[in-house]
Structure 1
Amino acid sequence: MSDWKTLFHKDQFRFIDHTNSIEPVTALDAFAVDDALALSVEKGASPTTMRIWTHDQTVVLGIPDARLPFIKEGVSWLNQQGYQAVVRNSGGLAVVLDKGVMNITLLFADGNKIGIHEGYQMMVGFIQELFADYTDQIKAFEVKGSYCPGDYDLSIDGKKFAGISQRRVKNGVAVQIYLSIEADNQARAKLIESFYKLGLQGEKSKFAYPTVEPNTMEALATLLNKPLTIDFVKNRIREKLTDLTKELQQNDLTAIEKEMYQKRKQQMIVRNKKALGDLFHE
Structure 2
Amino acid sequence: MKDYLQQSVWRFWDQSVSGKGHSPLESFAADDTLCQLVGQGQSPSTIRTWVHDESVVLGIQDHRLPHIQEGMELLTKRGFTPIVRNSGGLAVVLDPGVLNISIVLSERENKVDINAGYDIMVELIKRLFPQAADKIEAYEIVGSYCPGSYDLSIGGRKFAGISQRRLRQGIAVQIYLCIEGSGVERAELVRDFYKVSLQGEETKFKYPDIHPEVMASLCELLDEQLTVQQTVIELQQLLATLCDELKIGTLQADELDLYTFYLKRVLDRNQSMLSKD
**Residue matched to 2:32:** 35
The verdict on how the C-alpha distance between 1:24 and 1:90 changes in structure 2, with shifts beyond 3 A counting, is farther
CA distance in 2, matches of 1:229, 1:23: 16
CA distance in 1, matches of 2:75, 2:21: 22
What amino acid maps onto 2:222 in structure 1? L
1:56 to 53, 56, 63: 53
Deviation at 1:185, TM superposition (A): 1.1
Deviation at 1:135, TM superposition (A): 4.3
CA distance in 2, matches of 1:100, 1:138: 19
5 Å-filtered alignment, 1:1-282, equals 2-3=1-2, 6-21=3-18, 25-110=22-107, 113-277=111-275
The verdict on how the C-alpha distance between 1:239 and 1:100 changes in structure 2, with shifts beyond 3 A counting, is same
Deviation at 1:8, TM superposition (A): 2.7
Contact 1:49–1:107 (CA under 8 A) maintained in structure 2: yes
Q: What's the secondary structure of 1:265's corresponding residue?
A: helix
Contact 2:12–2:246 (CA under 8 A) maintained in structure 1: yes
Runs of 4+ in structure 1 off by over 6 angstroms are none
Deviation at 1:26, TM superposition (A): 1.1
Aligned Cα root-mean-square deviation (Å): 1.6
CA distance in 2, matches of 1:123, 1:8: 9
Q: What's the secondary structure of 2:131's corresponding residue?
A: coil
Bigger Cα displacement from structure 2, 255-264 vs 54-63: 255-264
CA distance in 2, matches of 1:193, 1:22: 26
Deviation at 1:133, TM superposition (A): 2.7
CA distance in 2, matches of 1:98, 1:10: 31
Contact 2:187–2:210 (CA under 8 A) maintained in structure 1: yes
Deviation readout 1:188-215 (Å, 9 max, x if unpaired): 0000000000110101111111011000
Q: What's the secondary structure of 1:247's corresponding residue?
A: strand
What amino acid maps onto 1:40 in structure 2? L
Unaligned runs of 5+ in 1: none
CA distance in 2, matches of 1:267, 1:100: 28
Bigger Cα displacement from structure 2, 84-93 vs 51-60: 84-93
CA distance in 1, matches of 2:187, 2:158: 10
Bigger Cα displacement from structure 2, 270-279 vs 169-178: 270-279
In the superposition, the TM-score normalised over structure 2's length comes to 0.96
The verdict on how the C-alpha distance between 1:234 and 1:63 changes in structure 2, with shifts beyond 3 A counting, is same
Contact 1:162–1:179 (CA under 8 A) maintained in structure 2: yes
CA distance in 1, matches of 2:177, 2:138: 13
Contact 1:42–1:170 (CA under 8 A) maintained in structure 2: yes
Contact 1:108–1:174 (CA under 8 A) maintained in structure 2: yes
Contact 2:141–2:148 (CA under 8 A) maintained in structure 1: yes
Deviation readout 1:96-155 (Å, 9 max, x if unpaired): 000100000000101761101111110011101111134411000000000000000000
How many residues end up aligned between the 2 structures? 276
Unaligned runs of 5+ in 2: none
Contact 1:91–1:167 (CA under 8 A) maintained in structure 2: no
What amino acid maps onto 2:96 in structure 1? K
The verdict on how the C-alpha distance between 1:90 and 1:237 changes in structure 2, with shifts beyond 3 A counting, is farther
The verdict on how the C-alpha distance between 1:102 and 1:22 changes in structure 2, with shifts beyond 3 A counting, is closer
Contact 1:55–1:98 (CA under 8 A) maintained in structure 2: yes
Contact 1:26–1:55 (CA under 8 A) maintained in structure 2: yes
What amino acid maps onto 2:41 in structure 1? G
CA distance in 1, matches of 2:213, 2:238: 31
- % identity of equivalent residues: 45
